[in-house]
Structure 1
């Protein structure tokens, strides 16, 4: 059997875990099901993830990195309003509409962290991480355009993150793509209104 680096095996098992979590939910996911999805023995999987909680933590970290990467690629060269709208559109198309099951998985994992003793910090870690990234990109976009923001950037970022979470849940309830686009534009309008980007003296 060809040697496979531990880092490559970890990525393989993470992909399998995400697939099972998306299909069966957190409650229905077992290490045995993930091993079957990855086409390895349960003993082999134990080398990387000895218990389910460690696997869930790894998936949460992977999810945060994925969401962060989408927001970090937002165009910040055309002002704060453009950054808000572009960031929301990228997130929606890449991480919600493309596969609603993955969006549901992210929500379930967040709820799981809140409900599991000793794991609550992971939920806070996710939200704080998203907020820092959004705050940073909004600040960069405003700076690039010489704009000011009517509210602190961390306030704007928390409002964006909270709005996205709620809008995703509404979409998951009926998966009405046309209406979700309207809702997303309304969210963007509200956030731009909250930020009220202005060029001093302009």
Structure 2
């Protein structure tokens, strides 16, 4: 067998896990099936990920990284927080939702699997904490660069964004309707921008 560096092998195994989970479902995907999908011995997979929970965490982190890349590529920070919310959500939707629902279905299965599996409840909490953390950092960066702030904490704004988009995704997964979803997404973005209450940051004392 050709030797492959662990730094290369690990992402390959995570990608294989995502494929297997999207195809077979999270609950039915085993360490053995992921090893077969990746074309590696089971022992190699277990060396990198000692348990299914560790593998699931790696899959969630990989999805979070993908979302982060989409948000960072969606808009220039100098355009302000309102524009970041609008362009970021639209880019996320067109890139990770409208093109196919397998990824989103897998994410929901990850959540329900963790909530139902004994001792795994913390994984579901961590999953949504990571989603909200990425969105909060993205919003805060856009506001800071543009010299803005918002009327609610960035953490709360992020949770509202995640919850709102999450609900629209569930509806789209159950009943894909591009035109209706586009209208609903526009309305949701307008509500989120209004909730943010974007305003110029206060000038430092003594500045003119």
Tell whether the structures are fold-level matches, with TM greater than 0.5.
yes
- 1:39 equivalent to 2:43? Answer no
Whole-Å separation in 2 of the counterparts to 1:180 and 1:48: 40
1:138 and 1:54, CA in 2 relative to 1: closer, same or farther beyond 3 A?
closer
1:51 and 1:79, CA in 2 relative to 1: closer, same or farther beyond 3 A?
closer
Whole-Å separation in 1 of the counterparts to 2:149 and 2:35: 52
SS in 1 for 2:79: coil
Q: How does 1:1-202 map to 2 (within 5 A)?
A: 1-75=1-75, 76-199=77-200
Q: Which runs of 5+ in 1 are unaligned?
A: none
The alignment yields a C-alpha RMSD, in angstroms, of 2.2
Q: Which runs of 5+ in 2 are unaligned?
A: 203-208
**Shift of residue 71, structure 1, vs aligned partner:** 2.6
Whole-Å separation in 2 of the counterparts to 1:126 and 1:70: 18
SS in 2 for 1:2: coil
Count, aligned residues: 201
Q: TM-score, normalised by structure 2?
A: 0.85
Conserved? CA contact 1:72–1:133, under 8 Å: no
> Which segments of structure 1 move beyond 6 Å, counting only runs of 4 or more?
none
Whole-Å separation in 2 of the counterparts to 1:193 and 1:67: 23
Conserved? CA contact 1:25–1:105, under 8 Å: yes
Whole-Å separation in 2 of the counterparts to 1:94 and 1:122: 25
Is 122-131 or 94-103 further displaced after alignment? 122-131
Whole-Å separation in 1 of the counterparts to 2:2 and 2:182: 47
**Greater helix share, 1 or 2?**
1
Listed one character per residue, the Cα deviations across residues 147-175 of structure 1 (whole Å, up to 9, x for unaligned) are 34232222211110111111111110012
Whole-Å separation in 1 of the counterparts to 2:29 and 2:166: 23
Q: TM-score, normalised by structure 1?
A: 0.88
1:186 and 1:36, CA in 2 relative to 1: closer, same or farther beyond 3 A?
same
Is 158-167 or 33-42 further displaced after alignment? 33-42
Whole-Å separation in 2 of the counterparts to 1:56 and 1:148: 36
